């Protein structure tokens, strides 16, 4: 994998949220490196309410981490 994460510091909460989403996406990519398999599985989880809720939980946890790293943008 390419090194892409240089810092958790962001200028704004919006940038922090976008970083949290990116962290979540990268977590999936590291867990399942096959793009073909990820594309095959997407239709199943993209219409499942429990899967979508689980995704939002992962993003929220990552956002908490980014927010703490940025001293909650104070």
- Could you state, in order of their start, the residue ranges of all structural domains in the chain? 13-73
Name the pTM for this structure.
Answer: 0.91
| pLDDT single digits (tens) 18-64 | 999 999 999 999 999 999 999 999 999 999 999 999 999 999 999 99
Residue 17, pLDDT above cutoff 80:
yes
Contact 68, 20 (CB under 8 A): no
Q: What pLDDT shows up at residue 54? A: 97
Residue 1, pLDDT above cutoff 70:
no
Q: What pLDDT shows up at residue 2? A: 80
Assign 3-state DSSP to the chain and report helix, strand, coil percentages, each to 5.
75, 0, 25
């Amino acid at each position: 994998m390419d090194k892409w994460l240089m810092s958790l510091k962001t200028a704004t909460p919006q940038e922090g949220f976008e970083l949290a989403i990116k962290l979540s996406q990268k977590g999936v990519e590291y867990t399942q490196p096959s793009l073909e398999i990820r594309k095959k599985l997407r239709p199943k989880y993209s219409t499942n309410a429990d899967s979508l809720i689980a995704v939002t939980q992962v993003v929220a946890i990552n956002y908490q981490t980014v927010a703490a790293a940025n001293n909650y943008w104070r």
